Structure 1
Amino acid sequence: MNETVESIEKIKSCLKRPAVVFEIGGFRPPEDPLAPWFGKVTVAAREEKWPTLADGTPMWALGQVNLSTLDCVPEALKDVAFLAIFFGPKHPQQEDPNGTNWLIRTYASLEELVPLEQMKTSSHLKPFPMRPGEPVEDYPVWDGGDIPEDISDLILRLEDEGKIEGYHDLIELHGGFKIGGHPCFIQPGTSVSESFEFVLQIDSTEKGNLMWGHDSGCAYFFRDPRTNEWCMTWDCY
């Protein structure tokens, strides 16, 4: 193995993280109420009701994922069997905490879940069943802050020496509705507290009628597994 190949393998080994990307729609909805959905949440804990804003306005269902069926999940979600996501109808702002204009509910066991009484909302999202793909190797965007300095220096040196065309020729980015991997930040300089780990990404989707921001944005969700605290941010073109 020559030096260039060894360097490329080192770069990939350092940066890759497993991720599961979901296919949205295109198949018959399953009967299992715990199946993954975009734009729909079917279950909750026995004592939980449909979430609302402070003024009583019903939130919109953004999706649900049965993590216990996935081949891989991030370390920060190892203690979570199932999660449900709500948002809106006001567009979440960067500083909004979990439970205001967006909400993630987590469940350690499937046994605590019962059918959630549905509520009429103003949601314009189009619900679709989802299907998880096989785990893929996911890599960070160049200016997203997830590349250690020694690795970025190595990449730049290989570029200067003409041994590679560029970083993005070496790796593949995975967007969409994704568990794990790296956030595909659109705008540079996005960051959250170090205690939070990236676990979930939800892209804009024309099929599901979801748009983050004003132009094909993306939302990123982070969790502190020690406290079950969540934070989210989003950006757009």
Structure 2
Amino acid sequence: MDTETIKQRLARPATRLIAGGFRPAHTDDESWLGRVFLFRPDEGIPLNSAGEQMLPYAQFFLSGLPHASPALAGTRVLTLFISRAFPDAFEPMGDNWLIREYGLNEVLVRKELAVPGSFLKAFPLKAEELAEDYPLWEDGGIPLDVEEAVHALEEAGSLDSYYDLITHCHEHKIGGYPSYCQAGVHVGDGFEFVLQISSDPKINLNVVHGGSLMFWKHPGTGQWAIYYDFY
């Protein structure tokens, strides 16, 4: 197996999301971190299990992005809320974190609903298409035959390192591969990696110690899963 075949086997498209650096247009088709303003008419800020308002982490207008996960087919807008204290990894959605998905024809209204004391700074997102994102070597997501092919190329002197062959986006993104800080985990059969929000001083987010919030969805059941790790 040569290097091009290895890359073809592993490559996935993704959208890198960059916070700020431009003036927002304040239109409904913008994506944001630290801000949510699109709701169903009967919705407001969700409450956690303690009756406290969750923080608005993100609003993604998926129709305007160059790539969105196939698991989000039929979803026009996705919003994310998380409690002030992070939920446990793999904690079921509902008590301390919530994703809302809105279909292509759902009626949404703008509501400027601030959460007092939120530490997140709101920034609009600029989308950048990534034709290729690759898994980290340590994450456990590389097929065994591809691992063996990489080792064979290294032993033959044709390749110094796997990381000379590939690139990986550690930033905010939709699609691609998760940016594990520790060895990868198995979320569950049938789940597809969808998006991540990474530590970012611009939005005042530090996931424990430089980690990332990562989210998967099961296309069959619609169930979401959350995981995060850190250095």
Report the TM range for the smaller structure's normalisation.
Answer: over 0.9
Structure 2-normalised TM-score?
0.95
* 2:207 aligned partner, one-letter code: W
Q: 1:197 aligns to what?
A: 192
Give the one of 108, 131, 137 matched to 2:132.
137
Residue-by-residue CA offset, 1:187-224 (whole Å, 9 max, x unaligned): 004220012110101110011110112x1011110001
Counterpart for residue 3 of structure 1:
none
Which 10-residue stretch deviates more, 46-55 or 170-179?
A: 46-55
Q: Deviations over 1:27-86 (max 9, x none)?
A: 112220331001000111222221111222111011111111122222111121110011
Q: Following superposition of structure 1 onto structure 2, how do residues 211-222 of structure 1 map, counting pairs within 5 Å? A: 211-213=206-208, 215-222=209-216
Conserved 8 A contact 1:222-1:231: yes
Q: Which residue of 2 aligns with 1:67?
A: 62
Shift, 1:110, TM fit: 5.2
How far off its partner does 1:108 sit? 1.3
Are residues 1:100 and 2:89 paired? no
The answer as to whether partners of 2:10 and 2:135 remain within 8 angstroms in 1 is yes
Say whether the 8 Å CA contact 1:212–1:218 is kept in structure 2: yes
1:233 counterpart letter in structure 2: Y
Contact 1:89/1:122 (<8 A) preserved: no
Residues 16, 128 of structure 2: 8 Å contact kept = yes
Separation in 2, partners of 1:107, 1:221: 17
CA distance in 1, matches of 2:182, 2:115: 35
Partner secondary structure for residue 133 of structure 1: strand
Give the AA of the match of 1:37: W
Structure 1 position 164 matched with structure 2 position 146: no
- Please give the secondary structure, in 2, of the residue aligned with 1:55: coil
1:121 Cα shift?
A: 3.0
Alpha-carbon distance in 2 for matches of 1:74, 1:65: 12
Partner of 1:125: 120
**Equivalent residue for 2:228?**
234
The AA in structure 1 aligned to 2:104 is: S
In structure 2, stretches of 5+ residues that fail to align are: none
The AA in structure 1 aligned to 2:93 is: N
Matched, 1:187 2:182: yes
Change in Cα spacing, 1:186 to 1:25, as seen in structure 2 (3 Å) is same
Q: Report the Cα distance in structure 1 between the residues aligned to 2:147 and 2:38, rounded to whole angstroms.
A: 44
Give SS of 2:48's match: coil
User: Matched residues in 1 for 2:62 and 2:142: separation?
Assistant: 27
RMSD, aligned CA: 1.4
Number of aligned positions between the proteins: 231
TM-fit CA distance, 1:117: 5.0
Letter in 1 for 2:228: W
Offset of residue 102 of structure 1: 1.4
| Matched AA of 2:88 | Q
* Partner residue in 2 for 1:79: 74
Identity value in percent: 38
**Rounded Cα–Cα distance in structure 2 between residues aligned with 1:31 and 1:143:** 40
The answer to whether the 8 A contact 1:30-1:129 is kept is: no
- Aligned to 2:10, which of 4, 10, 15? 15
- Amino acid across the alignment from 1:179: I
Superposition TM-score, scaled by structure 1 size: 0.93
